[in-house]
Amino acid sequence: MAIKITDECINCGACEPECPNNAIYDAGAAWRFSDGTGLKGVIDFGDGNTLNAEEAQAALSDDIYYIVPDKCTECVGFHDEPQCAAVCPVDCCVDDEDIRETEEELLAKKDWLHMNE
């Protein structure tokens, strides 16, 4: 699964620098797969879809900080617990019940995100 930020977010920004995958962005900010990862150039998702890792993607929220699910590994392989949740003063970094991934899948995602580093 991934972590999501709920609308209780106070936009303090404590979570953003804690993410080892740079998956957390400020409200309204565009995101890139290349931000904080080893992904560069055209990336292949293995399902026939490709994307330029440096290409800006639309913000997922214009109101609060947000987490890009495709970059979130719940800190697996880096820390014992999601660091965003550990530092959030209002406990609004919670499990995203709509996105479920096993520890093995999260580790594979971590390796994919950082393969060229």
Residue 88: CB atoms within 10 A of its CB come to 23
First to last CA, the chain: 24
Q: How many domains does the chain have?
A: 1
For residue 87, the domain's CATH number is 3.30.70.20
Contact 13, 92 (CB under 8 A): no
Contact 45, 72 (CB under 8 A): no
What tens digit of pLDDT does each residue of 90-109 get? Answer: 999 999 999 999 999 999 99
Domain that holds residue 102: 2-114
pTM: 0.93
What tens digit of pLDDT does each residue of 7-42 get? Answer: 999 999 999 999 999 999 999 999 999 999 999 999
Q: Higher-confidence residue: 1 or 41?
A: 41
How many whole angstroms separate alpha carbon 85 and alpha carbon 91? 6
